[in-house]
Chain A
């Protein structure tokens, strides 16, 4: 009869007993924090408001894959879920970023938002292609599942040196994924890149998603394939083994190794890309591809003061956006005055 009691007795001897709930909370908090840098790991939800047609649903899934690994790939939403539900769930789960797709009558919209307090950046998706479309257009699509195990790098182009909405946008995009620390990062984990480039002429932002492949420079295609495939090559057509090595093949040699894409690696990434030799960076698109136009910036989460609104479309498209945004129709009405003010500022 005494034996069951020995367990608690031992625990008491060790020190103050921590309630299981507290332990669980601590564990959860630790999971949200990068162990080395101590920075909070940004996590994201990608979901839709309103009903989406099938192509946009595919786009949503593609966006989730872009946001991997710190996102809910199989997030299920119901019709009756409102934004508040997501915010309530996001808190305990440590989710900090929302990507909200919606399909108003004009054009599909994508909103980037910070979870509890905002800001919210609303984009019109002027054009988009799905990952499947991209893969179909390529002769040899490359998308190994391993590349989704690490978060992508973010490259922002042409967004610096612009006005205020873009400055906060840069800030947002930089914190959408865990920060990369050059002194500790392993290059083998950098396998994807997300490019957000601002097009000055059209005032749109191009969203591209590429996979990164490293290729050793100065190694013929045959040798490379031999190293990659681990298969005995067919030497039937050669008189000597040296022919296989020295004879120039076709294909790879035509690719011009421009100096701009060359890097020297600090450590061995894999069998082929050694630290001792130079490697070339090759990017291949994996999709999705989007052309977005920043149409509105709000201070809160899909609410609050309108800090920016695309000025050209303002007069014409105001009604359209109001009918299209099914979530915050009333709030938009409330904000109408604020929008007018901000527009005045713009014009001055």
Chain B
């Protein structure tokens, strides 16, 4: 019973072993022998594989392969296969016999033919599979050796050549709008983005001129506000006195006692813009009543209407080119 199942289930391991027959040779056989000892009913396909097939056998295989290619032969095979399953009992017996034979004779290659003749039906499950493998190999090699026409689609074995072509065409069609969409997206993301030219055009030069004018005006204002102290030489007693007075004035200014000299400088300063409403407030911020209280921009639109004209000139930075 066990042998029967073995013969039926033999093909898969045989198939697995088929490609690396050469390598198997090198492997120590002790392991296998042990296995054989344990399972005496093991099928003979292993051993057969180990040995190099004889020329005779190869010839037979070639013939079988040739037969396999023709349709009527295949039909026959099918018939045979259908015949076999109904009587597994007999097959098992044959398997046992076969096993016994193989045990008795170490050399099997000669036996191949006889085996086929004697119990062709019984071992057909195994050998046919092998032949099938060979046939596939031959067929595959044949296909691989074929010179292909220079087809843009590449080698397509199937009969669905037109279908594949249609599919590929469709893919290309789909891909194209995707690329276009991506490009469109990029254009949308870049909208308004302009790479500037290498040289300065007249417009940029004009803008730089305006900006330069503004900077120069500020620097001059700063110069005017800070200069008086600088052009006096503190080592001369006369200048030192003037400087002393200046310092005193600034100090008094900071304390909030207005003196006569500093009114000019105050007018040009930004500071006056914030305190412009009432002159009595101290100049130094922490002394003012409104120090850190709220923002001055609260009524930004109302306040501006009334005092717009007077305040335009106060910030030296906000000068415009069209004032001239």
Does B169 count as interface, using CB distance less than 8 angstroms?
no
Q: Does A4 have its Cβ within 8 Å of any Cβ on chain B?
A: no
Q: Which of A10-18, A187-195, A222-230 forms part of the interface with chain B? A: A187-195
Query: Which residues, 230 to 265 on B, are CB-close (under 8 Å) to A?
Result: 230, 265
- Judge whether A73 is part of the interface by a CB distance below 8 angstroms: no
Stretch at the interface among A123-131, A310-318, A337-345: A123-131
- The chain A residue with its CB closest to the CB of B286 is A38
Interface segment, B14-22, B52-60, B113-121, B289-297?
A: B289-297
Known contacts A119-B301, A260-B212, A275-B230; A134 and B196 CB within 8 A of each other: yes
Provide the main secondary structure of the chain B interface: helix
- Stretch among B37-45, B138-146, B221-229 lining the A interface: B221-229
| Residue B288 interfacial (CB < 8 Å) | yes
Whether a CB of chain A sits under 8 angstroms from the CB of B321 is yes
**B195 engages A137 (CB within 8 Å):** yes
- B220: chain A residues at CB < 8 Å are 263
Q: Is the CB of A266 within 8 A of B192?
A: no
Instruction: Tell me if A260 and B291 are in contact (CB < 8 A).
Output: no
Provide the residues of chain A in CB contact with B227, threshold 8 Å: 266
Contacts A154-B317, A157-B210, A195-B207: A128 and B193 contacting too (C-beta < 8 A)?
yes
A residues 90-148 with Cβ under 8 Å of B?
Answer: 96, 105, 107-108, 114, 117, 119, 125-130, 133-134, 136-137
**CB-CB nearest in chain A for B303:** A171
CA distance A128 to B190 in the complex (A): 10
Q: How far is the CA of A264 from the CA of B223 in the complex (A)?
A: 7
Q: What residues of chain B lie closer than 8 Å to A327, measured between beta carbons?
A: none
Interface assignment of B320: CB less than 8 Å from any CB of chain A: yes
Beta-carbon nearest neighbor of A168 in chain B: B301
Which residue of the partner chain, among B188, B222, B292, B322, contacts A187 with CB atoms under 8 Å?
B222
Minimum CB distance partner of B294 in chain A: A40
A281 lies within 8 A of B219 (CB):
yes
A149 to B274, CA, bound (A): 25
In angstroms, Cα B68 to Cα A224, docked, is 96
Interface stretch, picked from B147-155, B160-168, B308-316, is B308-316
Complex Cα distance, B293 from A228, in Å, reads: 46
Tell me if B211 is interfacial: C-beta within 8 Å of chain A. Answer: yes
CA gap between A186 and B273 in the complex, in Å: 20
A197 touches B194 (CB 8 A): no
Known: A137-B196, A171-B304. A212 touches B215 (CB 8 A): yes
Which residue from chain B places its CB closest to the CB of A59 in the assembled complex? B193
CB distance from A256 to the nearest CB of B (A): 13
Are A127 and B192 touching (Cβ within 8 A)?
A: yes
Whether A159 sits at the interface, judged by CB under 8 Å, is yes
CB pair B321–A158 under 8 Å, yes or no, is yes
CB contacts (< 8 Å) of B320 on chain A: these are 156-161
Counting CB contacts under 8 A, is A236 at the interface? no
The residues in B between 168 and 222 inclusive whose CB is less than 8 angstroms from any CB of A are 188-198, 204, 207-216, 218-222
Q: Say yes or no: is A272 at the interface (Cβ < 8 Å to chain B).
A: no
A55 within 8 A of B: yes
User: From A38, which residue of chain B is reached at the shortest CB distance?
Assistant: B285
- Whether A266 and B211, one on each chain, are in contact in the complex, defined by CB atoms closer than 8 angstroms, is no
Q: Is the CB of B317 within 8 A of A180?
A: yes
Partner among B204, B268, B297, B318 whose Cβ is within 8 Å of the Cβ of A154? B318
Q: Which residue of A lies closest to B301 (CB)?
A: A168
3 interchain residue pairs of minimum CB distance: A38-B285, A53-B189, A155-B214
The contact sample of 23 A-B pairs, CB cut-off 8 A, is: A33-B285, A38-B285, A55-B189, A55-B190, A108-B191, A125-B192, A133-B195, A137-B197, A153-B317, A154-B317, A155-B210, A156-B318, A160-B318, A160-B323, A167-B308, A174-B318, A179-B273, A183-B265, A190-B215, A260-B213, A263-B223, A281-B215, A281-B216
Q: Which A residues are within 8 Å of any B CB, using their own CB?
A: 29, 33-34, 36-40, 53-56, 96, 105, 107-108, 114, 117, 119, 125-130, 133-134, 136-137, 153-161, 164, 167-168, 170-172, 174-175, 179-183, 185, 187, 190, 193, 195, 197, 206, 208, 210, 212, 260-267, 275, 281, 283, 285, 289, 299, 307
Using a CB–CB cutoff of 8 Å, the interface residues on chain B facing chain A are: 188-198, 204, 207-216, 218-227, 230, 265, 268-271, 273-274, 284-286, 288, 291-292, 295, 297-298, 300-301, 304, 308, 312, 315-323
